[in-house]
Amino acid sequence: MNVLPSVYKVIYSHGLRNMSIERELKKRSEEKCELCSSNEELSIFTVFPHKEASLLHSVNLCKTCIEQIENSDQVDVNHWRLLNDSIWNELDSIKVISWRMLDGLRQNGEGWATDLQDMMYMDDETTQWAKEGLPAEGAIVHKDSNGVILTAGDSVVLIKDLDVKGSSLTAKRGAAVRNIRLDPDNAEYIEGKVEGQTVVIITKYVKKI
């Protein structure tokens, strides 16, 4: 009798679970983006801070929506007029995405976003989820080259060669820097190890991975 080692059973079971979730999400969304209804380039998007795909914490989204959610500098304001409808969605995951996008638009001076955000109703648990991970008002915010917010412990990749001051070391483009630390006084600086050496890196030269 062929018996798989336990580690392979776990991997196999995890793979089946992900396939099942993907099928259920496709069924729930009718194979359309659950925000804008596009049926092109769809994939599973799991809403921060959750990392494992699930029906509660994941949605089926198109490439356009995902790219704009993850990169604040790529936001097309007109695209997000869809929030007029999505704020009434029964899914908490869609409500959370909608609230966060409206909050970003509001901070960029879009008055209509403020009005929509004020109209939203979410229970306390969903509201807490929506606000989780967002910087406190007035807090120093570190962002990568794409405008993605960085948090302590993130991993980034260098997007250009960097000479390390006071050293002969050149940190090469494409090098991964894991478990970064944030400078509490300067939004442009993070710290991390490159080839075993702790260095200060300017945020505009990194991309979150």
Token readout for 198 is 């702790």
Alpha carbon distance, N-terminus to C-terminus of the chain: 42
| CA angle (16, 20, 25) in 5-degree steps | 150
Structural domain for 179, as ranges: 156-208
CATH number at residue 187: 2.30.30.40
One domain for residues 122 and 198: no
The Cα–Cα gap between 184 and 206 comes to: 18
pLDDT surpassing 80 at residue 3: no
The Cα–Cα gap between 188 and 200 comes to: 10
One domain for residues 23 and 80: yes
What is the count of structural domains for the chain?
2
> What are the tens digits of pLDDT across the range 7-23?
444 433 444 456 788 89
* Helix or strand holding residue 119 (H, E): helix 111-119
Residue 136 falls inside a structural domain:
no
The Cα–Cα gap between 160 and 2 comes to: 50
The Cα–Cα gap between 39 and 129 comes to: 28
Residue 148 falls inside a structural domain:
no
> What are the tens digits of pLDDT across the range 164-195?
777 777 888 898 998 899 998 899 999 988 88
One domain for residues 81 and 170: no
Query: What percentage of the chain has pLDDT greater than the value 90?
Result: 49
The Cα–Cα gap between 184 and 64 comes to: 33
Helix spans in 30-110 (H): 63-70, 83-86, 92-107
> What are the tens digits of pLDDT across the range 38-93?
999 999 999 988 888 899 999 999 999 999 988 777 789 999 999 999 999 999 99
101 close to 36: Cβ distance less than 8 angstroms: no
> What are the tens digits of pLDDT across the range 131-141?
886 666 667 88
Q: How confident is the model at residue 28 (pLDDT cuts 50, 70, 90)?
A: very high
One domain for residues 10 and 111: yes
What phi, psi does 2 have (nearest 5°)? -90, 120
What's the pLDDT score for residue 130? 93
Prediction pTM value: 0.63
What's the pLDDT score for residue 11? 39
CB atoms within 10 A of CB 126: 16
pLDDT surpassing 80 at residue 162: yes
